[in-house]
Amino acid sequence: MARRHDPERRQRIIDAAIGVVAARGIAGLSHRAVAAAADVPLGSTTYHFATLDDLLVAALEQVNAGWLADFGRWVDELDGDAPAADDVLRLVADTLAGDRTRVELEYELYLAALRHPRLRPLAADCLDEMARLLARRTGDLPTARALVAFADGLMLQHLLTGRPFEPDALRDGLTAALV
């Protein structure tokens, strides 16, 4: 058990909550499960996070911060000469490549906003920040919002269906749809 004076306890609880959601989904999140995962007394979780929504807010804030940092780096590395659709398809392909555990966790928390109203502003702020970051590449916010929505939809569909991601087929379909 952790010592009584434990300045990192709150962060360990948040990390444990993220781990519980990754392993069991939102339905598996409880103060008891988080306390066990963080190796802290049950009272510590309720001291730092009175409700599960408080815990979900902290978890989504942390997950969003990590995603936005990665997304910002991706935007900074974009080739200004490549078509924006190619850039978005590369983002989706890179995000879905390999182990999908992280992106599944991100979507689990993101979609929890449908049932947890306190999470909605966090999800909306994340989408808005993604659009602002991408607007540095596209030159305008409406186009950036459309590309974020497109990437979001692609990732969610591929996570749900398990189908392989085929950027060339999508590029062809998108080009045909936009004509």
Instruction: Give per-residue pLDDT as tens, 104-115.
Output: 999 998 899 999
82, 160: one domain: yes
Of the ranges 7-11, 12-16, 80-84, 152-156, which one carries the lowest mean pLDDT score?
80-84
58, 38: one domain: no
Backbone torsion region of residue 69, taken as left when φ is above 0, otherwise alpha when ψ lies between -120 and 50, otherwise beta: alpha
Backbone angles phi, psi at 78, to 5 degrees: -65, 145
Separation between Cα atoms, residue 44 and residue 49, nearest integer Å: 8
Which of 14, 31, 50 is the C-terminal boundary of a domain?
50
Is 177 a residue whose pLDDT tops 80? no
45, 89: one domain: no
User: Which tops the pLDDT comparison, 45 or 100?
Assistant: 45
What CATH number does the domain containing 125 carry?
A: 1.10.357.10
Q: Which domain holds residue 152?
A: 53-177
Q: pTM for this one? A: 0.86
Residue 130 has a CB neighbour count (10 Å cut-off) of 23
Q: Please, what is the average pLDDT of the chain?
A: 90
Q: Helices 84-96 and 120-138, interaxial angle, to 10°?
A: 130
